[in-house]
Structure 1
Amino acid sequence: MIEQDLIEQKETYFGLKLHALVSMKGFITNFIITTANVDDRAAVFELVEANKHIKNTRR
């Protein structure tokens, strides 16, 4: 009976994620907010593409 009750309950969760581009000194230089189901790699790619003028000094 308990298992059947759990199966019948359908809950929906909504969430957001903040993806931030941070400078070496700790300043947020850019950010995007995505829904929780967006792959983190896609968000990082979008941030990098939008900020090609920023150089990576730690290679």
Structure 2
Amino acid sequence: MYMFLPFLLALAGCASVWHARPGLSYVLWGATVVVTVAWFFHHATDPLKFSF
């Protein structure tokens, strides 16, 4: 539903690096990683059912 969130956080992190805000950059980078890993575990919980 909110698949733009990691990209928005990464963009905000890049903007904070551009404006020389290192503390905010680390926080946004960490938030991006947490959101991405959380979505991975949410969507990758079932094994794939391949039939060859």
Common fold: TM-score over 0.5: no
Which structure is higher in strand share?
Answer: 1
**Greater relative contact order structure (CA < 8 Å, 6+ sep):** 2
TM-score, length-normalised on structure 2? 0.29
Larger Rg, first or second structure (1 or 2):
1
Which structure is higher in helix share?
Answer: 2
